[in-house]
A and B are shown apart, each in its own frame.
Chain A
Amino acid sequence: MEPSDTQVSAEVEGAQRATGLHLVTPKVRRHSTRPRSVTLGIRAAVLLVLFGAYWLVAIKVNDVNKLPTPREIFDHYGTLITGQDLIGNFAISMSRAAKGFAIGTSVGLVLGTIAGLTAVGEEVVDAPMQILRTVPLAAMLSLFIIWFGLGDLPKLLLIALFCVFPVYINTTSALRNVDRKMVESARSFGLRGPRLLGDVIVPMALPGILTGLRLAGSLSVLALVIAEQINSNSGIGAMLINANSVFEYTTVFCIVVLYGTFGLLVDLFFRFIEHVALPWRRGVSVR
């Protein structure tokens, strides 16, 4: 700002002295209007700093079996790709995660919609869902094998089960929190049933629903570690479990890095979806 802007003119100064009130120039909270490149730069810088810090610690530890350096991890990928078909296993796992995600989120969306929109739906659906939600799935693997065999089915069902609940809970609460006044006004314009749902209720509940999908996205990959314990002969979850049991920690680190990268990509994907699906939120949210 120019000095003339901040200087109080003589007249104003006189007026202020005459006043018994203490007058101030308000401090204004400015909205962040940083360009996208700066935001991305900060995010990248954080990752680089963490990466560098890890590298330093790994060099200091200097033990490939405790904390392999990024270099050692990177080199080990070559061994894993040629020796253990990492790419093929990754593809298998991603396909399982995607299928499980699709099944689980569909069920979660349907049940969540039923429970969120109708009182009777909530009465019927909610209590069983709350009970199922706390079932320790990881400890029921052998039952799943007895029920569904050793193929892909029990794996997909397990992944799906992990995805159902975050979507169900977020969908239910998002739908329940849609402003009644908006629904009322839409009803007065003759909107009913699917159109009311599609044009008014779902768009307004979308932020919450997307939160559920986002959680399910990461859970679908985490669930691989449990699901692929069944007949653990394929997938990166199985590779991770096997490497752990034979103390191959460099392999463990390689796959964990893969998980982390995948988590970042899933998050970017949902950010993109939010950006596209919720353009109206930008002018409304706190920042």
Chain B
Amino acid sequence: MSAAPGTEVERDRHVAVICEGIDKRFGGHVALDGVDLVMREGEFVALVGKSGSGKTTLLRILAGLEAPDAGTLLVPEARTVVFQEPRLIPAKRVWKNVSLGRGRGAAARAEAEAALGTVGLSHRSSAWPATLSGGEAQRVALARALVRQPKLLLLDEPFAALDALTRLQMQRLISDLVEDFAPATLIVTHDVEEALLLADRIILLRDGKLAVEVAISEPRPRSLGGAHFDGLRRELLGELGVTV
């Protein structure tokens, strides 16, 4: 079991993300309104919020896919995204999808195979993406993100389209991989339990602003039992407008 990320450890870690006063508008609609966020290496942050609260917009800005209208943004060069859908290139075999842009040689293949091994898909290395199941495809997408050794891993509701069992396996897998690779990780999710299961810190976005922040110091892997988690869950769901 790894040491709980206490405050002392936190301070020692390198800063991996700095957002200051990030604004983003789409037409007249304000998606993000003065968002400040600092993340450290190895920190796992979950971004929760209702649909349209600006979660995905913030992730896309951190990924460099969207430009903020105002504010300061500093992120590591090595950052990767796992999108909600796998976005594998159907014309390339699984391992080539993983090694996309990293060369064609034996070294690139070995690297891709190794990444596929960490997500438990060595046996599908030569398969075509169209023949994969949803969970397998999403694991390939994860391997593709990890093979680049990101300093910032961005996950945009990566398990949303998966069945409950695959989802549990994927959550466990992410939890383990993030412990091993220790990038700064931001997961966008609307699933409060998923956030509680994975994150060191949960940030709730409301109307484009950071509304609530909850730190969780329990070590991973976690199981969500007990009064503490129940309380947190109720609190967060309450903030999201759901009474339980």
A residues neighboring B (CB under 8 Å): 1-2, 5-9, 12, 15-16, 18-28, 30
Q: What is the interface size of chain B, counting residues whose CB is below 8 A from a CB of the partner?
A: 22
Query: Contact between B20 and A9 (Cβ–Cβ < 8 Å)?
Result: yes
A selection of 22 A-B contacts at a CB cut-off of 8 Å is A5-B72, A6-B72, A8-B74, A9-B72, A12-B74, A15-B38, A16-B74, A18-B14, A18-B15, A19-B14, A19-B15, A20-B14, A21-B15, A21-B16, A21-B76, A23-B75, A24-B75, A25-B74, A26-B63, A26-B75, A28-B66, A28-B67
User: How distant is B23 from chain A, measured CB to nearest CB, in Å?
Assistant: 9
CA A20 to CA B40, docked complex, whole Å: 11
Query: Contact between A15 and B64 (Cβ–Cβ < 8 Å)?
Result: no
Identify which of residues 60-81 in chain B touch chain A, using a CB-to-CB cut-off of 8 Å: 63-67, 70-77
Q: Is the interface of B mostly helix, strand, loop or mixed?
A: strand
B residues neighboring A (CB under 8 Å): 14-18, 20, 38, 41, 63-67, 70-77, 151
CA A7 to CA B64, docked complex, whole Å: 19
Q: Number of A-B pairs whose CB atoms are under 8 Å?
A: 60
Query: Contact between B65 and A16 (Cβ–Cβ < 8 Å)?
Result: no
CA A18 to CA B66, docked complex, whole Å: 27
Given known A-B contacts A8-B72, A15-B38, A22 and B14 have beta carbons under 8 A apart: no
Given known A-B contacts A8-B72, A9-B72, A23 and B66 have beta carbons under 8 A apart: no
Q: In the complex, which residues of chain A have a beta carbon less than 8 angstroms from the beta carbon of B71?
A: 5
Query: Contact between A24 and B77 (Cβ–Cβ < 8 Å)?
Result: yes
CA A24 to CA B15, docked complex, whole Å: 12
- Option from B65, B66, B67, B77 in Cβ contact (under 8 Å) with A22: B77
CA A5 to CA B68, docked complex, whole Å: 10
When C-beta atoms are compared, the residue in chain A nearest to B63 turns out to be A26
